[in-house]
Amino acid sequence: MSARSKARKRALDILFQADVRGDEPAVVLAAEAQRAASEPARQASWLYAREIVDGVIDHRDEIDEQIVTHARDWKLERMPAVDRAVLRIGVWELLFNDEVPSAVAIDEAVELAKEFSTDESGSFVHGVLGRIARTA
């Protein structure tokens, strides 16, 4: 597994924890930063995970607006927390990270959804991100 794939999993964990606990993502990110400081072997994945979470924090309103606009009859609060976190990561990569090709951002998000969410989540995430990518 690539360092970026590991980083996406770490970012998913941070965003999911914040959402479920009702904490600000920055608070969970700070706690994870302390933990990461004691794990130099995981430094490569930590740097990109932090970049993702910081990006989601910085662009949260725009990201959530894109998700709601393209989710077709799904309200953000009705989505499983894992799907919300995965979509936020995917939208951030699509719209705000020029280093990641759209197809890679979508594929990685779909894989996270398949691994950590419901049976239907992979196709749901694929559909939402695909629509966003076509309009970006």
Residue 12 identity: L
- Domain of residue 47, CATH code: 1.10.940.10
For 64-80, what is the mean pLDDT? Answer: 95
Q: How many domains does the chain have?
A: 1
- For residue 120, give both structure tokens: 């239907």
Residue 82: which domain range?
3-135
Handedness of CA 128, 118, 73, 67 (dihedral sign): negative
Helices 43-58/81-96 angle, 10° precision: 90
Radius of gyration of the chain (CA): 14
Greater model confidence, 35 or 74: 74
> Full-prediction pTM beyond 0.85?
yes
- For residue 108, give both structure tokens: 């990685």
